[in-house]
Amino acid sequence: MSREKVVRVQIEAGKATTSPPLGPALADLGLNVSEVIQKINEITKPLEGHIVTVKIVVDLATKEYKIDVKLPTTTSLLLKAVGADRPTGNPAQQKLGNVSLEKIIEIALLKKKELTAKSLKGAVKTILGSAHTLGILVDGKEPKQLIKEIDEGLYNDVLLKYEEKWRQN
């Protein structure tokens, strides 16, 4: 029976270092610290600029390990996209900013594994719903308007460009 040890840390994506607390925790488990740090940074690089939770599960007998990364929340991804620190208290009247539909699609692709949507169109509409509750405009429009336009097929050509990435993801 193998025993496992779990190390959890919050880091800035793509910027893990050998300094405490991560380096010493990995060294105490007999792992090659530089190798693990390099793998963490490779895995988290696409999320640069975000704080992510990294879980390293180590088999103490074999020294094999698995790295799991918890993605930032949809809210934090949207807030970062508009350069805001926190949501507005009044999203109907006070808008935080504007993002492109392409940025919404990027967030949908990134969050695919955590969304219940079966299609890219459904995922994009989910992210648009979050943008609406935060008071974020998309291409200068209310997100609810874009959802309606997506349902009408107005953005099929844009979504089609990303469909292959959705299937691969």
- Please name each of the domains of the chain with its CATH number: 4-70 (3.30.1550.10), 74-168 (1.10.10.250)
pLDDT at 55 over 60: yes
**Would you say residue 1 has pLDDT above 60?**
no
Tell me which of 167 and 65 has the higher pLDDT: 65
- Average pLDDT of the residues of the chain: 91
Tell me the mean pLDDT in the region 48-60.
Answer: 90
pLDDT at 158: 92
C-alpha dihedral, 144 to 104 to 130 to 69, nearest 10°:
160
Which alpha helices (H) appear in the chain, and where do they start and end?
22-28, 33-44, 74-82, 101-110, 120-134, 143-151, 156-168
pLDDT at 78 over 90: yes
The reported pLDDT for the residue numbered 113 is 86
Mean pLDDT of 112-117: 88
Token couple for 166: 């959705």
Taking residues 20-44, what's their average pLDDT?
93
71 close to 47: Cβ distance less than 8 angstroms: yes
- In this prediction, residue 82 has a pLDDT band, given cuts at 50, 70 and 90, of very high
Asked whether residue 86 carries a pLDDT value surpassing 90, the answer given is no
**Tokens representing residue 99 in the block:** 């993002």
pLDDT value of residue 2: 62
Tell which residue, 150, 134, 125, has the closest CA to residue 77.
Answer: 134
Instruction: Map tokens 């060294």 to a residue.
Output: 27
The per-residue pLDDT for 54 is 94
Residue type, 7: V
Average pLDDT value for residue range 128-136: 94
CA distances from 162 to 28, 30, 99 (A): 44, 42, 17
Helix axes 74-82, 120-134, angle to 10 degrees: 70
